[in-house]
A and B are shown apart, each in its own frame.
Chain A
Amino acid sequence: MAEKIALQEVEVWDGNMAAAQAFRQAQIDVVAAYPITPSTPVVQNYAKFLADGFVDGEFVMVESEHSAMSACLSAGAAGGRVATATSSQGFALMVEVLYQASGMRVPVVLHTVNRALAAPLNVNGDHSDMYLGRDAGWINLCSFNPQEAYDLTLMAFRIAEDFDVRLPVMVHQDGFISSHTAQNVKPIQDDEAYNFIGEYKEVDPMLDFSKPVTYGAQTEEDWHFEHKAKQHKALMDSISVIEKTFEEFEKLTGRKYNEVERYLMDDAEIAIVALGTTVESSLLAATQLREEGIKAGVVAPRVLRPFPYNALKDALKDVKAVGCLDRSAPGGALGMLYNEVAAAMYTSDSKPVISNYIYGLGGRDMTIAIIKDIFKELKANADAGKLTTPLQQFSGLRGPKLAFF
């Protein structure tokens, strides 16, 4: 039996340690990893826990991230609880297998510490990797600080392994700003955490020799569509299990999570929609602007996939202007958050003015001053009842103003 660790009521952990502790408490059967900055300490800490006798499981060192995810998928298909962590280029190399995991309905947990994608090579935080994997059929949960990285990683196992879900889950946190920033984290004790997640429940394990199964079938035009439709339905339906898990977690810890988080939104006239650590920065900027009489608020999708269209519509129903902040190079289009939010609001009775800001690429600092400037532009949009700026602007960029549409 693995030894336990008696945790303090408040621990000082960075986001990576928070995720590693959640991994340890989940007592994963197989972690296969090829560590990469800035997620390295997640699996490094986990490997040390295992070596020191705090985990009963296997740590498999593989030769690439493609192999890491393949080994996790295979061990999951064999019938074990599996997880790994990665970032950026490693995430990109995993992408092929991400689609395999969701298609085969194997509940892998992937802790993604978000980092920019090359070229140019960059180790700092932005959301390029998150955006790259968003259509891979995984549940995507977004954390904004180490506490949430810990909480959501624990919940990820329970959601992924639920009989009504059986889909892989990604938990995201910002590289360095969350992953390497030590903060106060309130953990739950090992037994509580393990009981919350529960024993791993096998579904069609390959190691059940009396009921042999084949994973990874080939389907062509006569079967493929039906299988992908069934998979999409499972992802869409998973929101009820996610919500139930959030409720159970609140009962256990008092910490409440929602599919869409709202900050200062009760009377907000303008709102920023953002992900990651920028959510907290935006909250600080909004709080300061309220002293100037600007009714600013912040809305953040906690669940990026399945995308919470209805909850988002409700969160933004009373605002006049919305700024969607995308921390990923948009690749010849508007940012993802703009597209999703605009689609949600287009089918809503309220029609706020929506604009798009690209910011913080490669770890460029998103300052309170920049966010306040954005809020002030949104206020001008709200007062005018129409766009007073280009639709898409780059914020915090040196050189001549860059904007489109």
Chain B
Amino acid sequence: MEYVGWDEVTTGTLIESFSKPTDNVAFIRPEERAYSDMNSYKASVASWRFIKPVYNRDICIDCQFCWIFCPDTSIISRDKKMIGIDYEHCKGCGVCVEVCPTNPKSLLMFDENKANEEALTEWPEKKRKDK
């Protein structure tokens, strides 16, 4: 955001969510909403993260657990189908991995600097249950 003088800042440090009146926002996809420049949607917090979740489509059962539990709405899901991770807003907390019920997990934490393609080649095998 551009730095402005005291005479141009908002009254009461108010933050407007949208740059124009927006009705029925629940039915507009985030990427299509008219977010204002002050909205945290426009701010990247990717640099806060040192480990990241990587998503494996081949194992995922689209249960939506990760989508529900993510505290920063950084799991992208469309029509109940898991698509991936919003790496601009994910802070790497790992809750999505924790709640993932598949075997092996469909989400795993990797070093932030590891490429996702490489991470996918290191995916673990299905664990056998010990009787």
Contact = CB atoms under 8 A, between A and B. Distances in A.
A pairs with B: yes
A121 interface: no
B4 A213 contact: no
A212 interface: yes
Contacts of A226: 4-6, 9
A217 B7 CA distance: 18
B115 interface: no
Interface in B74-115: none
Nearest to A166: B11
B31 interface: no
Given A222-B3, A226-B4, A212 B9 contact: no
Contacts of A227: 6, 9, 13
A215 B10 CA distance: 11
Interface stretch (A30-38, A99-107, A329-337): A99-107
A106 B11 CA distance: 10
Interface in B5-33: 5-7, 9, 11-18, 21-23, 25
Interface residues of B, number: 18
Contact of A229 (B3, B6, B17, B23): B6
A195 interface: no
A217 B57 CA distance: 38
Nearest to B22: A210
B6 A211 contact: no
A214 B12 contact: no
* Chain B binding surface SS class: loop
Contacts of B23: 209-210
B12 A166 contact: yes
Interface string A252-296: 000000000000000000000000000000000000000000000
A219 B15 CA distance: 11
Interface in A86-113: 103-106
Given A210-B21, A210-B22, A230 B16 contact: no
B11 A211 contact: no
A3 interface: no
A405 interface: no
Interface in A206-245: 209-217, 219, 222-223, 225-227, 229-231, 233-234
A11 interface: no
Contacts of A250: none
Which of B3, B14, B17 counts the most chain A CB atoms within 10 A?
Answer: B14
A230 B9 contact: yes
Given A210-B22, A210-B23, A211-B21, A204 B14 contact: yes
Contact of A215 (B6, B14, B18): B14
B14 A230 contact: no
Contact of A213 (B3, B9, B14): B14
A211 B16 CA distance: 7
A-B CB proximity, top 9 nearest: A105-B12, A214-B15, A229-B6, A212-B17, A226-B6, A210-B21, A104-B12, A217-B13, A210-B23
Given A103-B13, A214-B17, 4 more contacts: A104-B13, A211-B18, A214-B14, A216-B13
Interface of B: 3-7, 9, 11-18, 21-23, 25
28 contacts: A103-B12, A103-B13, A166-B11, A166-B12, A204-B14, A204-B16, A209-B23, A210-B22, A211-B16, A211-B21, A211-B22, A212-B16, A212-B18, A212-B22, A213-B14, A214-B15, A214-B17, A216-B13, A217-B14, A217-B15, A223-B9, A223-B13, A225-B6, A227-B6, A227-B9, A230-B9, A230-B11, A231-B12
Interface of A: 103-106, 166, 203-204, 209-217, 219, 222-223, 225-227, 229-231, 233-234
